[in-house]
Amino acid sequence: MNGAHALLSTLHANHVTTVFANPGTSEMHFVAGLDDVPDVRAILCLFEGVATGAADGYARVTGHPAATLLHLGPGLANGWANLHNARRAHSPLVNIVGDHATYHSILDAPLQSDIAAVAGAVSGWVRRSQSPNDVANDVASAISAAYGPPGQIATLILPADSSWGDVTQESPWPVALRHAPLAPDEVALERAVRLLRTKNAALFLGGTALNADQLALAHRVAQAAGVRVIMETFPAIMEHGAGIASPERLIYLSEFAIHQLADLEALIVIGSTPPVGFFAYPDVSSHVVSSDCEVLLLAPTNVDSRATLAALVELLAAPALSVEQGVRPLAPTGALTTESFAAAVAATMPEDLIIADESNTSGLHLYGATRFAPAHRLMTLTGGSIGYGLPVAVGAAVASGSRVLALESDGSMLYTPQALWTMAREQLDVTVVALSNRSYAILNLERQRVGAVSEGSASQRMLDLDSPPLDLGALAGAQGVPNVRVTTADELVAALNRSYATPGPMVIEAMLPKGLS
C-alpha cells in the first residue's frame, strides 16, 4: 500500500468522500488510487478555482468538508481566491496540494515554489507529509483542523514520494476529532440581557446562526425585548423564505449601513464579527457602527450560536413567535429589469432551492422579493472575491439533492466559467441565470463613490464589456450546457420553469439594458 492509498482510505474512514480535483503529474498516484477506494468520488474540474469553490459550496450545504486536489504552487494559487471566500465563510475544507518529491524540491525545478507561504496566507492549518507513513495521521489531523470550530482551510502538502512510497507501518485508519463549539459565556449572557432590557439594541447575526431554527430564536428574543434583528451582508448560507423569520440585512454601501445602524445604543453579535465597511471611501467612515454604540461580541464564531440564542430566550422568557405571513410575487411580465428579474426568481422557485447569488448590482431586489417564496437557502459572496458563484453551485449540487440556482453577471461569470463543464459532465441540477448588462456596473457605481468621477473615454473603457459583447449562452454551449437567451420577464419565467422541470444544468442568458443595475 502506498501513501496515496492511505490518504484516500483515511478520507473515506472519516466520511470525506468527495474530492474536487485538477491533478497533474505529481498527483498521479492519488488519481490511480481512486480505483482502489471507489467510495471516494473524484470530480474533475478544468481550473483549480472551480475545485476550491466547489469544496466551499459542499461545506456550506453539509457542514462537512470535501477535499480538493491541486497541483503544486500554481494550482494552489489558481484556487486561492475561492479558498479566500471559503475562509471567510468558515467552511471546513481539506485542501490537498501535490508537490515535488521531497528530494526533488532542493533542485529548484521549474515548478518549484514556496507552497507553504501561499497556503499559509489562506489556511488555518498547514502541514507537509514527510513520508508515506505520516500520511494517514496527517490527513486525520487535517480533517480535525478543518472542522474547527469555526470551520477553516486545512492544507496538506503532499510530496509525490510520500504519495507513491510504500506504507510500512500499517494501523487502523486514524479518526479525526470534531470538537464541539464552546458553550456560551455566562457573564456575557447577563450583560446581553442587561443591554437588551435597557438599550436601543439589535442582535447582529451571522455564520451558523442563520438557519430557520436560530432565526426563530433570535426573533423571539427581539420580540420580547423590543429590539431589531440584523444579519451580516454576506452570509455563507442562510435559510430564507415563507415561514422563516427574516432579519434586516446590513446594507452593503457603508454610508447607508452607517445610517441603518445610527440610532443603535447596543449591538449584540452572535456567530459573526462586528460589522465594518466593505471598502474604505474618502470622507466615509470605515466604522459602520457608531462610536456611541456598545458592541458585545456575545458568541464569536467558535461559540455555540444556537445555545446562545436559546439561553437568551430562556433568560428573557421570550414567548413563542408568530412568523409574518405574506405572499410571493406573481410571475412578472413585460420588460426585463432588475426588479422583474427578482420577481421572476421569487415567483418560480421550487421548494428547497439553494441559491448561489453572485449577481452583484443586478441582485439588489432579490432578498426582498424572495421573502415569502418557498423556503430556500441563500449563499453569498463572503470574501468579496469574484468567481465564487458557479463553483459553489457545483459543490452545493453535488452535496445535496436540491436544485441549485446560480445568479451571475457577465463580469462575474468570466472568472471561473470552467465550472459549466463540470456541471455538464456530472449532470448537476444547476440553473444559471446569467444577467448580461455588458458592463462592470458595480465599478461604475464604485468609481463615483470613491470620487473618481472623470468621464473620459480611457477610464470608461475599463468598465464596459460591450465591445465585443460576451455571448454567455454560447460560453455554456461550448462546454456542453444547454442554454437559452431571454429578453423579457415572461421569457425568463418560462425558462426558469423549464429548467426546474429538466434534470441537469441549463444556462439562461437574461439580457438587461446595458449598464443597468
Q: How are the residues of the chain apportioned to helix, strand and coil, as percentages rounded to the nearest 5?
A: 40, 20, 40
**1 counts as binding a copy of itself under rule CB under 8 A:** no
**286 counts as binding a copy of itself under rule CB under 8 A:** yes
- Residue 18's region, left for phi above 0, alpha for psi from -120 to 50, else beta, is beta
Q: How far is the CB of 324 from a copy of itself (least distance, A)?
A: 30
Residues 406-435 vs a copy of itself: string with x where CB under 8 A? -----x--xx-xx--x--xx----------
Whichever of 325 and 461 has its CB closer to a copy of itself, that residue is 461
Of residues 305-334, which lie at the interface with a copy of itself (CB under 8 A)? none
Whichever of 43 and 486 has its CB closer to a copy of itself, that residue is 43
* Pairs from 497-504 (Cβ < 8 Å, separation ≥ 24): 497/348, 499/431, 500/348, 500/349, 500/350, 500/403, 500/431, 503/427, 503/429, 504/423, 504/424, 504/427, 504/428, 504/429
| Phi and psi torsions of 511, nearest 5° | -90, 110
The owner of cell 485508519 is 173
The only residue of 63, 101, 350, 400 in contact with a copy of itself, by rule CB under 8 A = 101
Helix (H, G, I), strand (E, B) or coil at 36: coil
**17 counts as binding a copy of itself under rule CB under 8 A:** no
Q: How far is the CB of 338 from a copy of itself (least distance, A)?
A: 20
- In SS3 terms, 356-404 reads as EEECHHHHCCHHHHCCCCCCEEEECCCCCCCCCHHHHHHHHHHHCCCCE
Q: In what order do the strands lie in the sheet with 248-249?
A: 248-249, 228-231, 201-205, 266-270, 294-299
Query: What single-letter DSSP state applies at residue 292?
Result: T
Name the segment binding a copy of itself (CB under 8 A); options: 10-18, 53-61, 190-198, 451-459. 451-459
Whichever of 80 and 372 has its CB closer to a copy of itself, that residue is 80
The only residue of 216, 470, 496, 507 in contact with a copy of itself, by rule CB under 8 A = 470
Residues 64-83 vs a copy of itself: string with x where CB under 8 A? --------xxxx-xx-xx--
The only residue of 226, 243, 384, 513 in contact with a copy of itself, by rule CB under 8 A = 384
Residues 143-172 vs a copy of itself: string with x where CB under 8 A? -----------------xx--x--------
Number of residues that bind a copy of itself (CB under 8 A): 103
Whichever of 199 and 425 has its CB closer to a copy of itself, that residue is 425
All residues at 6 or more sequence positions from 256 whose CB lies less than 8 Å from its CB, including other chains: none
Decide: residue 456, CB within 10 A, 0-12 exposed, 13-18 middle, 19+ buried. Answer: exposed
Q: How far is the CB of 489 from a copy of itself (least distance, A)?
A: 25
Q: Which residues partner with 507 through β-bridges? A: 432, 483
Whichever of 368 and 482 has its CB closer to a copy of itself, that residue is 482
**515 counts as binding a copy of itself under rule CB under 8 A:** no
Residues 33-52 vs a copy of itself: string with x where CB under 8 A? xxxx-x---x-x-xx-x---
Name the segment binding a copy of itself (CB under 8 A); options: 184-192, 200-208, 270-278, 396-404. 270-278
Closest CA to 41 of 60, 57, 20: 20
Of residues 215-244, which lie at the interface with a copy of itself (CB under 8 A)? 234
